[in-house]
Amino acid sequence: MKAKYSRYLLEFKRPSGTSRGVLHEKETFILEIENDGKKGIGECALFRGLSFDDRPDYEEKMQWLCENIDRDPLYLKEELKEFPSIWFGYEQAVLNLKHGDHLYFPSEFTEGKSAIRINGLIWMGEISYMEEQIREKLEKGFHCIKLKIGVDWKSEHAILQKLREKFSKDQLELRVDANGGFSRGEAEIVLQQLADLHIHSIEQPIKAGHWEDMASLCAKTPTPIALDEELIGITDRVEKRKLLETIKPQYIILKPALVGGFAGSDEWIAFAEELNMDWWITSALESNIGLNAIAQYTFTKKNPMPQGLGTGSLFVNNFESDLELKNELLWFKI
C-alpha cells in the first residue's frame, strides 16, 4: 500500500466572518492511498487557529503517515491521537479504498433514496448582508436557520427580534453560534434575551476551557447550550466523559475533523446518549471531499434533527461535489 498527500488552498467567494475574525481562505490537505490498483481519497481538514492539531510539525506527521501507511490501524490511531484531522483523512481514504467511487458509508443516502435535513447558516457581516442571507435561506425553504453571533450583539439581537416577529418558533427554528464570543456575565444576559425569543440553542456562549463557568451556565440556562469548541483537544475517553458529567450541557456538536474523525465522534455520541444529552453533526469548512464523507457518515447516525452540514458553495475553487441541495434537504447525486 502506498500513500501521498498534497496541500490545497480553498478560496472563499466572499470573506466569511466569525467572532474569531474574517476568513479569506482555508488550507486543507488531501490524502491518497493506493493498493492493488485501487485508490482511496480523504481530506485531512486542518482548521488553522481552531484545530487541536494546528502545529508546526503537521506536514511532518502527514509524511510520517504516508511512510507508515501499512502499519496496523490501531497503532496509527494511537500515534495520530493528537492529530485528529489527519486521522479523519486516513479514515476516509481507507473507507473509500474499500467501497470505491465516491463512497465512504454506503446507504439509502448514497443510493439517492433518502436525504439529510440541514440548517441554513448565516455568516457574520454587515447587517444588510446578514439579512440578505436570511432572505435567501427562507426563499429556499429552510425551516431551521443558524446565525453566527458575538461581534455586534445589539444589531444581531435586533435581527433575531425581527425574525421572530415574522415567524413563530413553530414556523422557524433559530439557532445561534457565539464561538465563545461572550464573557460569563454577558452570557447570562444574552441567554435570557434568547429565551424570550424562543431560540432553539446557543453554541459555545463563552470560551472553551472554563468548565466551572460553563457548568454553572448550563445548570440554570433558560436557553439550551450546545458545546462545540469545548470538545476540541479532549482525546482521552475518561476525560470526555468527565467533561460531559461536569458541564452537563443540553447538546454537544460534533465536527469530525476536529474531534478525532468518525471514531472520535462515535465515542462522544455514545457518552452523550448514556447521559441523556442530544447532539448533532456539523461540518467545519471542509472541501467537497470531506463534506461528502461527513454527510454519508451523518446519515448513518439516523439523527432526525437538522444537521449543520455545509453545501460546499462557499469556495470558488472547490472540488466537484457529490452533494446537491434541494430546499433544506441534502441529497447525494446519482
Q: How far is CA 223 from CA 77, 100, 153, 218, 321, in A?
A: 37, 44, 16, 9, 36
Question: What residues are paired with 281 via a beta bridge?
Answer: 254
Report the alpha-carbon distance of residue 323 to residue 309 in Å, rounded: 11
Q: Residue 22 in 3-state DSSP?
A: strand
**Cell numbers given for 195:** 429565551
Q: Which is the catalytic residue, given 26, 137, 146, 148? A: 148
Report the alpha-carbon distance of residue 218 to residue 244 in Å, rounded: 11
Query: Per-residue DSSP letters for 237-274?
Result: HHHHHHHHHHH--SEEEE-TTTTTHHHHHHHHHHHHHH
Give the pairing type, strands 144-148 and 120-122.
Answer: parallel
Contact 256, 294 (CB under 8 A): yes
Contacts by residues 153-156 (CB-CB < 8 Å, ≥ 24 positions apart): 153/182, 153/186, 153/190, 155/127, 156/130
Query: Residue 148 catalytic?
Result: yes
Q: Which is the catalytic residue, given 255, 302, 326, 333? A: 255
To the nearest 10°, report the CA torsion of 245, 249, 251, 254.
-60
Question: What phi and psi values does residue 59 have, to the nearest 5 degrees?
Answer: -65, -30
Report the alpha-carbon distance of residue 255 to residue 51 in Å, rounded: 10
Q: Residue 55 in 3-state DSSP?
A: coil
Q: Residue 83 in 3-state DSSP?
A: coil
Cα-to-chain-centroid distance, residue 318? 18
Q: Write out the catalytic residue numbers.
A: 148, 255
